Structure 1
Amino acid sequence: MSSVTSSAVSLPQGFIPVMLTPFLESGEVDYEGLKALTELYLESGAAGLFANCLSSEMYELTEEERLTVTRTVVDQVAGRVPVVATGTFGGPIAEQAQFVKRIYDTGVQAVIVITGLLAEENEGDEVFIQRTNELIALTGDIPLGFYECPVPYKRLISSEVLAELLPSNRIIYHKDTCLDLDEVIRRIKVAEGYRFGLYDAYMANAVASLRAGAAGLSCIQGNIYPELIVWICENYDNADREEDVKMLQKFFIDSMEIVHSAYPTIAKYCMQKRGFPIAAYTRRDVGELTPELQERADMLLDEVDQIQTELGIPSVFKKTVEEPLK
């Protein structure tokens, strides 16, 4: 166990988007577009930002691009909200620890650890705990977070495993993908008294997770309708808006499938349609955004407009782009 007794950092409550990476048609990272996108998330009311994640196509970025993308976001944010970023990409733990330090040096508040890269799928929890403790010991007092990323495989961190690791006082963020409300409640319970926030990645249990004490949401839907995610984080327990909250939770469930289709290409397409100048170019092979998917995305955006009008939520997108960029 690390000798560090406390982490002085905790992340704010609310929406922490998993950021997209804009690319130029040449395939290079569009750093000016990334700065503009950072501003869009902030304008929508994001409490923090998660750069260099799966939505950012982190596995398709070079090591230097991962660092430059993260540094660009940190510099653009200029201290307005905390930024976290992934810092583990496989290999021996000592190597992973070195890159954790490099990512931390970009100015992020915490470095996110991919759970499926610390132990193989056939290795037990004791191996995972041992490797995590090794990583903790090799990374000074850097605040860390867990990401139950579906790639290379989804390794869930049970509340029992979390209870073993939280006394290090180094784990401050958890992007939860277990889809099990009872387990979410257990995880929140074992983390009481620690500087730790659980951010649910799945919108199926958004309201229930928030009511159970989740710190917020880190979901891909924030790359299509960020305003609605911010609104639910602010109003999930507002008795005066109970019917609106129910309606919005149902919408999140009903739109789950389309949001996950050909993602993140579909998110870039939706941002284009809403007026943000981002190319649909995606390095990650996620399947084709077919005309049928585009049509369903258009219908989704009509519904989003209608909901925002009904709830009185202004759009952060500027309807100034005549034609979506190719």
Structure 2
Amino acid sequence: MARLTENAKGVYVIAVTPFADDGALDLESIDSMVDFYEGAGVTGLTVLGQLGEAPKLTAEESRIVVERVLKRLDGRLPVVVGVSAPGLAPMSELTKAVMGEGAAGVMVAPPWTIRTDDQVFAFYQSVGETLDDTPFVLQDYPLTTNVTIAPAVIERIVRAVPNCIMLKHEDWPGLSKITALRAASDKGGMRRISILCGNGGLFLPEEMGRGADGAMTGFCYPEMMVGVVEAYSAGNPDRGHEIFDAYLPLARYEQQQGIGLACRKYVLAKRGIIKSATLRKPGPRLSALDIADVERLLARQAVRLKQIGA
């Protein structure tokens, strides 16, 4: 598989990690999930992300998940692997393992201990050196890391760290950050890197309008993200918004802190993509009222999609 480059675009869906009812890895559901994502038209997959429950996996389980995904895809789509860790040694170890198996690149979020701009820069400079020539994605997700990275700091990192080739943009609000980074590359202040956006796709049409190259996030209907990105790429933003609007109520519900992933897995299981909606403990479960909310949203969504022919 070719390595990730600054030209990456499209939808790199954040994959869930399927578990059986008893919390064990469900390898067969990994296969069916990969098949579904590929059939939905995604450009690539990202595994071991935060909503892939990566912190709940052992080191061996992490390798098993990556190997299974890569084997199922057999080189047809690129795979990015989350390797964030408190230290550089475990990050380097997992990176070498997954790149050796055929991953296209890795993703790194900053540790919560970082506070200043210089500390952010120094961390990613060390990441670049530690990972050698492995292309990596800078994950900018202050809502969970509590680390704020200003556009000027990202510019500084991109200029100094050649293997930083993509920004996973999840700042909120963050549209002005996309604008600033695109202006910087347009003026020659930094090389142009790929910008894929997260936050469940809640701002995807606006992000595409600001110059994003696509999405790197999860949602129980990745068809929404694929449809929006394809519409914008075809020069038809109105169609992109029409598709987005049809899915927005469910996407908004799924974005709730705490139960959002439980909602996503519930719908994926309901769609027959994974066998069980189980989250590995500790993790929330949907209440009967939560499930009723989701079912109502699904019914309304089906009506709207039929109306717009999507």
Q: In 1, distance between residues paired with 2:305 and 2:38?
A: 18
State how many pairs are aligned: 300
Matched, 1:215 2:208: no
SS in 1 for 2:81: strand
Structure 2 unaligned regions, length at least 5: none
Matched-pair contact (CA < 8 Å) for 1:158–1:187: no
Q: Percent identity?
A: 20
1:40-65 deviations in Å (ceiling 9; x for gaps): 00100000110111121000011111
User: Is the Cα–Cα contact under 8 Å of residues 258 and 293 in structure 1 kept in the other structure?
Assistant: no
State yes or no: 1:138 paired with 2:130. Answer: yes
Find the aligned partners of 2:225 and 2:58 in 1 and give their Cα distance: 31
CA RMSD of aligned residues (A): 2.4
Of 162, 172, 190, which residue of structure 1 is paired with 2:165? 172
For the 8 Å contact 1:88–1:97, the answer to whether it is kept is no
In 2, distance between residues paired with 1:28 and 1:112? Answer: 25
1:287 Cα deviation from its structure 2 partner = 2.6
The TM-score normalised by the length of structure 1 is: 0.83
1:297 to 294, 297, 307: 294
Structure 2: distance between partners of 1:155 and 1:191:
23
Deviation at 1:265, TM superposition (A): 1.6
8 A Cα contact 1:228 1:308, kept in partner: no
Aligned ranges 1:1-326 → 2 under 5 Å: 9-10=5-6, 12-91=8-87, 93-115=88-110, 117=111, 120-121=113-114, 123-149=115-141, 153-167=145-159, 168-179=161-172, 180-191=174-185, 194=191, 196-202=193-199, 203-221=201-219, 224-236=220-232, 242=238, 244-251=239-246, 253-261=248-256, 262-313=259-310
Secondary structure (helix, strand or coil) at the match of 1:81 reads: coil
Distance 2:64 2:192 in 1: 28
In the superposition, the TM-score normalised over structure 2's length comes to: 0.87
Runs of 4+ residues over 4 Å off in structure 1: 149-152, 237-241
- Measure the CA separation in 1 of the matches of 2:171 and 2:8: 22
Change (3 A) 1:277 1:102: closer
> Distance between the aligned counterparts of 1:158 and 1:253, measured in 2?
28
Give 1:98 shift.
3.1
How far residue 251 of structure 1 moved from its aligned partner, in angstroms, is 4.5
Determine if contact 1:185/1:209 at 8 Å carries over to the other structure: no
